[in-house]
């Protein structure tokens, strides 16, 4: 069992952390539906700038539900600097695997724990994840799948019309391996390092470098020709 921490302290800490950076969620596509709690807003927590920030290995910030209040997805300071341990209430939050899968726990001030691994138990399984952009049909990365709260039921990230996506600044750019927002010669060495397993990519880098015709959520030699073509095209 996770040890609960005082709500007032938790919210104060979360508000402080998200104040350091504006939400990376798109201002239009920012809503997810809870089957028993209605809409949740991932960008404008209670009509402020405090929202969710999607990072390379974890989420941080607040979701706002008009009917349930704040949901904290993490304070942005995991103890190991990379991912939340989710062992007790001192180090909890939602992590992101290299393949975009979401794992871990969020805390709702009025609804308790929300499990982002819960979608794997849905019928059919609908694990929560970050989907890479597929232009032009889906120009920005978006969330999909389901999370589960014992007190609220399913939180759907998978609606075709109302969903949560990253904004244009935060969404990965095809062939941008160094994360500067451009695809150019500076991306060649990072791409080679990933292919040779000299470095481990995060989900943003996988989305940028997995450019083969049938993506497999890895950066490998099969991506080489399309990567070269991508750089030469621009």
pLDDT by residue (tens digit) across 139-178? 999 999 999 999 999 999 998 889 999 999 999 999 999 9
Residue 19 pLDDT more than 70? Answer: no
61 contacts 53 by C-beta, under 8 angstroms: yes
Cα dihedral sign for 206, 212, 214, 218? negative
Q: Closest by alpha carbon to 205, among 170, 168, 174, 165?
A: 174
Task: With cut-offs at 50, 70 and 90, classify the pLDDT of residue 233.
Answer: confident
Task: With cut-offs at 50, 70 and 90, classify the pLDDT of residue 231.
Answer: very high
Strands 142-144 and 129-131 come out as antiparallel
Cα dihedral sign for 154, 157, 159, 161? positive
**What is the length of the chain?**
234
For residue 192, count other CB atoms closer than 10 A to its CB. Answer: 15
Q: What are phi and psi of 123, to 5 degrees?
A: -120, 110
Is pTM beyond 0.85 here?
A: yes
CA–CA dist 213, 64 (Å, integer): 38
For residue 173, count other CB atoms closer than 10 A to its CB. Answer: 17
Task: With cut-offs at 50, 70 and 90, classify the pLDDT of residue 49.
Answer: low
Q: Which structure tokens are listed for 43? A: 């960008």
54 contacts 170 by C-beta, under 8 angstroms: yes
- Give the DSSP H or E segment for 13: helix 7-18
Reported as a single tens digit per residue, the pLDDT across 61-118 is 999 999 999 999 999 999 999 999 999 999 999 999 999 999 999 999 999 999 999 9
Task: With cut-offs at 50, 70 and 90, classify the pLDDT of residue 13.
Answer: very low
147 contacts 128 by C-beta, under 8 angstroms: yes
């Amino acid at each position: 069992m996770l040890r609960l921490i005082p709500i007032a302290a938790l919210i104060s800490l979360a508000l402080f952390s998200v104040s350091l950076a504006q939400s990376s969620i798109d201002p239009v596509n920012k809503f997810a539906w809870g089957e028993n709690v209605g809409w949740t807003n991932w960008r404008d927590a209670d009509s402020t700038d405090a929202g969710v920030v999607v990072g390379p290995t974890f989420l941080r910030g607040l979701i706002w539900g008009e009917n349930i209040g704040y949901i904290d997805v993490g304070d942005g300071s995991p103890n190991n600097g990379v991912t939340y341990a989710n062992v007790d209430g001192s180090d909890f939050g939602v992590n992101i695997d290299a393949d975009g899968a979401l794992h871990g726990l969020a805390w709702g001030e009025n609804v308790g724990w929300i499990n982002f691994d819960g979608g794997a138990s849905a019928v059919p399984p609908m694990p929560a994840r970050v989907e890479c952009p597929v232009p032009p049909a889906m120009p920005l990365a978006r969330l999909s799948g389901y999370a589960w709260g014992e007190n609220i039921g399913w939180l759907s990230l998978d609606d075709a019309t109302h969903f949560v996506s990253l904004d244009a600044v935060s969404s990965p750019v095809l062939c941008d391996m160094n994360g500067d927002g451009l695809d150019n010669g500076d991306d060649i060495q990072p791409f080679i390092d990933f292919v040779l397993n000299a470095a481990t990519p995060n989900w943003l880098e996988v989305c940028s470098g997995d450019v083969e015709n049938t993506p497999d959520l890895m950066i490998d030699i099969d991506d080489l020709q399309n990567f070269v073509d991508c750089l030469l095209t621009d």
